[in-house]
């Protein structure tokens, strides 16, 4: 039995829940991008191996590599927050194609190491804080509670605001957690 079914005593399908969108990060892909030659001049289309470590694709509307369902809005980007903070939905932009090989952030990044989080953040205090916010959690190991605590990460809204202001992705929606499953 999977973690979801175990926690909720039913399957996602039985609740009418289906995968809406899935995206990879920390991946290398062969893609075609416009590259300015070393001596300058007009950009030239080149096939490149783009390795996104700590990043994800941010392709703009009408890009041939994104599914037809997203052609009018651009590639959706789900930027996960922490167990106790919001997550953001962004879309790709033309500016991302020009400046970052069609890439933007995929998360906020850690503010402190997993070891430091385990040493300084009490799982009981983290769970109590989440409960005060009305957030339920199911976790396989108590050490994950401290490692993945909101204080272990940078502010996801600030990171997404920076990407939005830089023009490499556009903010669309903010989502607040009501349940967390860490396996």
Average pLDDT along the chain, 183 residues, taken 10 residues at a time: 78 84 83 94 96 93 94 94 91 96 93 94 92 88 87 94 98 90 70
How far apart are alpha carbons 74 and 48 in whole angstroms? 21
Nearest to 145 by CA among 118, 116, 114, 123: 123
Measured from the Cβ of residue 88, the count of other Cβ atoms closer than 10 Å reads 26
- Write down the pLDDT at residue 16: 86
Give the pLDDT of residue 139. Answer: 84
DSSP 8-state class, residue 133: T
**Active-site pick, 33, 62, 106, 164:** 106
Helices (H), 3-155: 3-8, 94-100, 114-120, 123-132, 142-147
| C-alpha closest to that of 76 among 64, 65, 63, 89 | 89
Quick check: is 106 catalytic? yes
């Amino acid at each position: 039995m999977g973690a979801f079914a175990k926690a909720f005593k039913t399957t996602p399908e039985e609740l009418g829940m289906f995968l809406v969108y899935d995206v990879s990060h920390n991946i290398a892909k062969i893609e075609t991008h416009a590259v300015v030659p070393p001596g300058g001049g007009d950009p030239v289309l080149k096939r490149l191996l783009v390795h996104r470590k700590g990043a994800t694709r941010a392709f703009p509307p009408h890009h041939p590599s994104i599914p037809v369902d997203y052609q009018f809005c651009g590639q959706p980007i789900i930027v996960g927050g922490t167990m106790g903070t919001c997550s953001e939905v962004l879309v790709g932009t033309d500016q991302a194609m020009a400046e970052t090989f069609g890439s933007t952030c995929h998360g906020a990044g850690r503010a402190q190491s997993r070891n430091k989080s385990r040493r300084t953040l009490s799982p009981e205090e983290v769970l109590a804080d989440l409960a005060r916010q009305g957030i339920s959690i199911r976790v396989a190991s108590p050490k994950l509670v401290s490692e993945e605590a909101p204080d272990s990460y940078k502010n996801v809204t600030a990171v997404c605001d920076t990407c939005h202001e830089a023009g490499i992705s556009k903010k669309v929606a903010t989502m607040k957690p009501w349940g967390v499953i860490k396996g």
